């Protein structure tokens, strides 16, 4: 059985001047699970994260944390939340450990508690040897890890991560993913925004796809793929850049396909016929792969879906 | 956001502590500025110009100007901190964004910044008082009473500066404030010569500027006399603290909580 919801968002609305950035965003995260909010830039991900911190006054809807309305919790609600912001805002004048101390003081934690917690967190984030280093001595990946360590200084029950691995190399991303899974196992509730589908697929129990301020679909990563993409995927491209299969021969073979630029994408349980038709044609390049969250995402938010509607 | 949210919590002290921590790292150049600049002013104006001026308002010119420089230095230091340094923290370093992810509120950040600006003003004032007392230019039993006055003056210049910072889109914006407010106050509020040497209309204008009241309180206290009209001068400085604080709070809420 699922735990009761730790975070509940109900019908969030937010408007800036003429632009509606949130149009009824609604989801909930059971305690101790990870929810990924995926969407293109400007979809409303960061606004949602800010709203959960109480930093964006809403034009409608309600946010509940552990059953309590955020509006009644006020700034005190933030004592139970950790935030990894999209933009690094470590204190450049301080060393690694001074950053943690200073941040802990913002929560009014006692000094001994901050000291003990800092040592644990630096260890957890593989930064122990760097306690006295200035921020400028850290690589981008290390700064991100420190930002995550900093967000954990108050032992938050809910961790909000706004694009935590954007711009990092694969090694750094894998270490961060590993630590986020550790946190989830320890019972921390995680909300992650990302535009990397693989990140959502690897970390999240539930994924919500958001675009233009609306949640278009939400389910487990597998559930989303199974309900939106029938079977496998094949991408076809012509070497000379011209339109592949202009006569639409493939439509006799597959139920679903779309064209993205110079690429024809076919979806189906059995793509053998299509492959057999094009594989010996020297003008074609093809790629067969299992369906991923990215396919779901592109089908739900991409322009090709809209083209199909014509 | 109700006006009650404008009242800061003790968390504001964590903001002061943070700024103090950064200042401590840059202690040497900072102290050089605090001691060096007033020393140069005292030598150049007190001795150089003082040689020709002789006495002013019944005291040696160096004594007259030392208390003026204390007051103007509080203004300059608190203003600079509340403008350039605060804007750097808000805009370039995103320190306010980091603070707002914790239980700190806009009013805690603002109050911490204003208080820190006042403390920096106090540090610079104390440095000048120390330097000037070697020249015999600071004297009398009331010097210690100048400390709360210096802090209040620092709070008012800090609050005013944060109004500008809350509106600023870039550092260039602050030139308006320096040229239209700080420099005129420096020149026309009684730092270098007594107010009564100005034409009547200029004296009236000077009366609505905060530095005039800081000078009116600090000059007697630092030269062994008790100031006149104390509640009036304190009241003006208090108004210049509270009203800009509330305006800055309103503007920052609009800017940071969107």
Shared domain for A50 and A190, answered yes or no, is: yes
Indicate whether A309 belongs to any domain. Answer: no
Residue A99 has pLDDT above 50, yes or no: yes
* pLDDT, averaged across chain B: 96
Q: Stretch A115-136: mean pLDDT, rounded?
A: 97
CA A68 to chain centre: 25
- The reply to whether A149 and A280 lie within a common domain is no
Q: For position B208, what pLDDT does the model report?
A: 97
Asked if the model's pLDDT at residue B67 lies above 70, the reply is: yes
Same domain for A85 and A63: yes
What b/e sequence results for A118-146 when a residue is b if at least 16 CB atoms lie within 10 Å of its CB, and e otherwise? beebbebbebeebeeeebeebeebbbbbb
CA distance A178 to chain B (A): 24
Q: Which of A78-87, A297-306, B38-47, B166-175 has the lowest mean pLDDT?
A: A297-306
Distance CA A247, CA A241 (A): 16
With an 8 Å Cβ cutoff, are B93 and A91 in contact? Answer: yes
What is the average pLDDT score of chain A? Answer: 91
Kindly state whether residue A124 falls inside one of the protein's structural domains. Answer: yes
- Backbone dihedral angles phi then psi of residue A80, each to the nearest 5 degrees: -100, 0
Compute the average pLDDT of residues A273-302: 87
- B103–A91 CB contact, under 8 Å: no
Confidence of residue A304 (pLDDT cuts 50, 70, 90): very low
- Same domain, residue pair A107 and A161: yes
- Stated as kind and residue range, the H or E segment containing B211 is helix B210-222
Q: Are residues A196 and A263 in the same domain?
A: no
> Across the beta sheet with A19-30, what order do the strands follow?
A19-30, A5-16, A60-65, A68-69
**Contacts of residue A106 in chain B, CB cutoff 8 Å?**
11, 14-15, 99, 102-104
Structural domain includes residue A77: yes
How far is residue A266's CA from residue B67's CA, in Å, rounded to a whole number?
83
Averaged pLDDT, A123-139:
96
The secondary structure element, H or E, covering residue B236 is helix B230-256
The pLDDT score that the predictor gives to residue A303 is 52
With bands split at pLDDT 50, 70 and 90, how would you rate the model's confidence at A305?
very low
Total structural domains within chain B: 1
The answer, yes or no, to whether residue A307 has pLDDT greater than 50, is no
A263 CA to centre of own chain: 26
Residue that terminates a domain, selected from A191, A219, A247:
A219
As a whole-number percent, the residues of chain B with pLDDT over 90 amount to 90
Check whether residue A66 and residue A157 sit in a common domain.
yes
Kindly give, in sequence order, each residue whose CB lies less than 8 Å from that of residue A41, ignoring residues fewer than 6 positions away: A195
Is B2 part of any domain? no
Q: Residue range B143-164: average pLDDT?
A: 98
List the alpha helices (DSSP H) in B60-209: 61-80, 86-87, 95-100, 106-134, 146-167, 174-177, 183-188, 200-207
Same domain flag for A203 and A63: yes
Interface test with chain B among A102, A110, A151, by most B beta carbons within 10 Å: A102
Continuous segment of H or E residues that includes residue B56:
strand B55-56
A110 to chain B, minimum CA–CA distance in Å? Answer: 12
Write the CATH number for A44. 3.40.50.300
pLDDT, residue A80, reads 95
Beta carbons of B95 and A89 less than 8 Å apart = yes
A299 part of a folded domain: no
Question: What's the residue count for chain A?
Answer: 310
Give the per-residue pLDDT at B22: 96
Average pLDDT of span A25-38: 97
Question: A148 and A271 in one domain?
Answer: no
Residue A175 contacts residue A154 (beta carbons within 8 Å): no
Q: Give me the pLDDT at residue A215, please.
A: 96
| CB-closest option in A53, A57, A102 to B18 | A102
Q: Give the span between the Cα atoms of B20 and A195, in whole angstroms.
A: 39
Please give the Cα distance from A297 to A49 (Å, whole number). 20
Looking at the structure, do residues A9 and A137 belong to the same domain, yes or no? yes
Please report, for residues A102, A115, B19, B22, B77, the alpha-carbon distance to residue A93 in angstroms, rounded to integers and kept in the order given: 11, 19, 10, 6, 20
Nearest CA in chain B to A56: B258
Residue after which a domain boundary falls, among A219, A252, A274:
A219
Q: Is residue A80 part of a domain?
A: yes
Closest partner residue to A89 (CB to CB) among B11, B15, B97 is B97
The Cα A231–Cα B91 span in angstroms is 49
Each residue's pLDDT tens digit, B187-234? 999 999 999 999 999 999 999 999 999 999 999 999 999 999 999 999
Any B CB within 8 A of A114 CB:
no
Give the pLDDT confidence of B4-54 residue by residue, as tens digits: 999 999 999 999 999 999 999 989 988 888 888 878 988 899 989 999 999
Closest residue to B100, CB basis, from A55, A79, A88: A55
pLDDT of residue B154: 98
Residue B61 lies in a domain: yes
Looking at the fold, whether A243 and A201 belong to one and the same domain comes out as no
- For residue A310, pLDDT over 70 is answered with no
**Which of A171, A196, A219 finishes a domain?**
A219
Distances in Å between the alpha carbon of A40 and those of A211, A213, A291, A294, B228? 7, 11, 19, 11, 66
Instruction: State percent of chain A over pLDDT 90.
Output: 69
Residue A200, pLDDT above cutoff 70: yes
Q: What is the average pLDDT across B74-90? A: 97
Strand partners, A258: A265
How far apart are alpha carbons B121 and A150 in whole angstroms?
Answer: 32
- Interface touch A94/B22, C-beta < 8 Å: yes
Residues of B with CB under 8 A from a CB of A: 1, 10-11, 14-15, 17-18, 21-22, 25, 93-95, 97-105, 256-258
Q: Which residue of A has its CA nearest to B253?
A: A55
Query: Could you tell me if residue A61 is inside a domain?
Result: yes
* Whether pLDDT at A23 is above 60: yes
Structural domain of A252: 230-290
pLDDT beyond 70 at A286 = yes
| Shared domain check, A158 and A55 | yes
Number of domains, chain A: 2
Residues of A in contact with B257 (CB under 8 A): 55-57
Q: From B157, B171, B154, select the one nearest B248 (Cα to Cα).
A: B157
Predicted confidence at residue A2, as pLDDT, reads 59
Rounded to two decimals, the pTM is: 0.93
Q: Which domain holds residue B128?
A: 8-256
Are A143 and A241 within one domain?
Answer: no
Is residue A306 included in any domain, yes or no? no
Residue B38 CA to residue B163 CA, distance in Å, equals 27
Residues in chain B with CB shorter than 8 Å from the CB of A78 are 101-103
Segment A80-94 mean pLDDT: 95
Q: State the pLDDT confidence band at A75, using cuts at 50, 70 and 90.
A: confident
For residue B3, is it within any domain? no
Window from A110-114, A175-179, A238-242, B248-252 with minimum mean pLDDT: A238-242
Provide ipTM, 2 decimals.
0.93
- Let me know if residue B1 belongs to a domain: no
Whole-angstrom distance, CA of residue A153 vs CA of residue A107 = 9
Q: Report, as an integer, the average pLDDT of B63-72.
A: 96
3-state secondary structure chain A: CCCCEEEEEEEEEEEECCEEEEEEEEEEEECCCEEEEECCCCCCHHHHHHHHCCCCCCCEEEEEECCEEHHHHHHHHHHHEEEECCCCCCCCCCEHHHHHHHHHHHCCCCHHHHHHHHHHHHHHCCCHHHCCCEHHHCCHHHHHHHHHHHHCCCCCCEEEEECCCCCCCHHHHHHHHHHHHHHHHCCCEEEEEECCHHHHHHHCCEEEEEECCEEEEEECHHHHHHHHCCCEEEEEEECCCCCCCCCCHHHHCCCEEEEECCEEEEEECCCHHHHHHHCCCCCEEEEEEECCHHHHHHHHHCHHHHHHCC
Q: Residue B42: what pLDDT?
A: 87
Chain A / chain B CB contacts < 8 angstroms: 71
Percent of chain B with pLDDT over 70: 100
Task: State the virtual CA torsion across B210, B212, B217, B220 in degrees, nearest 10.
Answer: 160
Helix (H, G, I), strand (E, B) or coil at B120: helix
Q: Is residue A305 part of a domain?
A: no
């Amino acid at each position: 059985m699922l735990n009761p919801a730790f975070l509940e968002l109900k019908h969030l609305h937010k408007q800036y001047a003429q632009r509606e950035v949130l149009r009824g965003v609604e989801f909930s995260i059971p305690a101790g699970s990870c929810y990924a909010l995926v969407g293109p830039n400007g979809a409303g991900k960061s606004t949602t994260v800010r709203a959960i911190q109480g930093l964006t006054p809403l034009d409608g809807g309600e946010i509940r944390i552990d059953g309590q309305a955020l509006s009644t919790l006020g700034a005190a609600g933030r004592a139970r939340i950790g935030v990894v912001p999209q933009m690094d805002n470590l204190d450049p004048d301080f060393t690694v450990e001074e950053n943690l101390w200073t941040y802990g003081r913002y929560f009014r934690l006692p000094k001994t508690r901050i000291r003990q917690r800092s040592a644990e967190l630096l260890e957890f984030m593989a930064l122990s040897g760097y306690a006295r280093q200035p921020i400028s001595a850290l690589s981008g990946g290390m700064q991100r890890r420190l930002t995550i360590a900093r967000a954990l200084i108050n032992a938050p029950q809910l961790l909000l991560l706004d694009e935590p691995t954007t711009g990092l190399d694969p090694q750094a991303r894998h270490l961060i993913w590993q630590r986020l899974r550790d946190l989830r196992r320890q019972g921390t509730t995680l909300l992650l925004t990302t535009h990397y589908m693989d990140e959502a697929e690897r970390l999240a129990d539930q994924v919500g796809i958001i675009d233009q301020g609306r949640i278009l679909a939400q389910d487990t990563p597998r559930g989303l793929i199974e309900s939106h993409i029938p079977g496998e995927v094949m991408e076809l491209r012509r070497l000379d850049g011209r339109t592949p299969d202009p006569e639409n021969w493939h439509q006799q073979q597959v139920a679903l396909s779309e064209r993205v630029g110079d690429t024809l994408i076919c979806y189906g349980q059995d793509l053998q016929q299509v492959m057999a038709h094009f594989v010996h044609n020297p003008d074609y390049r093809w790629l067969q792969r299992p369906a991923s969250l990215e396919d779901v995402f592109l089908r739900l938010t991409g322009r090709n879906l809209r083209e199909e509607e014509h | 956001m109700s006006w009650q949210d404008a009242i800061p919590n003790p968390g504001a002290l964590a903001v002061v502590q943070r700024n103090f921590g950064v200042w401590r790292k840059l202690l040497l150049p900072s102290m050089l500025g605090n001691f060096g600049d007033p020393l140069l002013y005292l030598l150049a104006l007190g001795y150089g110009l003082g040689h020709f001026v002789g006495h002013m308002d019944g005291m040696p010119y160096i004594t007259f100007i030392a208390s003026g420089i204390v007051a103007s230095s509080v203004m300059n230091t608190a203003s600079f901190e509340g403008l350039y340094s605060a804007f750097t923290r808000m805009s370039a370093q995103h320190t306010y964004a980091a603070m707002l992810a914790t239980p700190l509120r806009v009013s805690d950040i603002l109050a911490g910044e204003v208080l820190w600006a006042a403390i920096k003003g106090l540090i610079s004032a104390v440095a000048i008082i120390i330097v000037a007392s070697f020249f015999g230019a600071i004297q009398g039993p009331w010097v210690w009473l100048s400390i709360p006055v210096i802090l209040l003056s620092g709070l008012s210049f800090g609050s005013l500066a944060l109004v500008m910072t809350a509106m600023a889109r870039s550092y260039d914006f602050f030139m308006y404030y320096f040229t239209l407010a700080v420099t005129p106050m420096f020149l026309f509020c009684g730092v270098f010569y007594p107010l009564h040497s100005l034409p009547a209309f200029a004296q009236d204008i000077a009366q609505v500027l905060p530095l005039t009241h800081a000078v009116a309180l600090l000059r007697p206290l630092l030269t062994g006399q008790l100031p006149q009209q104390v509640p009036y001068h304190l009241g003006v400085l208090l108004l210049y603290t509270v009203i800009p604080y509330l305006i800055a709070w309103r503007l920052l809420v609009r800017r940071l909580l969107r």
